[in-house]
Amino acid sequence: MASPADCGCDCGYPVGYGHGHGHGVALRCFMSKQETKEKLEQYEDQLKKELAGVRERIQELKGS
């Protein structure tokens, strides 16, 4: 299932990125600047959480 920041095709790319990546048809997303900003901020938050999890896991493995 795509997250709110994904392009909607379950590819994992954020809105506005990665379109035309093997789906056969290049997709376009037409959004206002405000909506694009909100989606990118959501994606940034998601990446920050993921990075925190990666760092935590690295620390766990170092302690093993």
Helix residue ranges, H only, the chain? 33-63
pTM for the full predicted model? 0.52
pLDDT at 17: 52
Reading the chain (64 residues) residue by residue, the pLDDT tens digits are 445 455 556 566 655 555 454 444 555 668 899 998 999 999 999 999 999 999 999 999 998 6
Which residues, including other chains, have CB under 8 Å from residue 4's CB and lie 6 or more apart?
39, 42
Contact predicate 20/26, CB 8 Å = yes
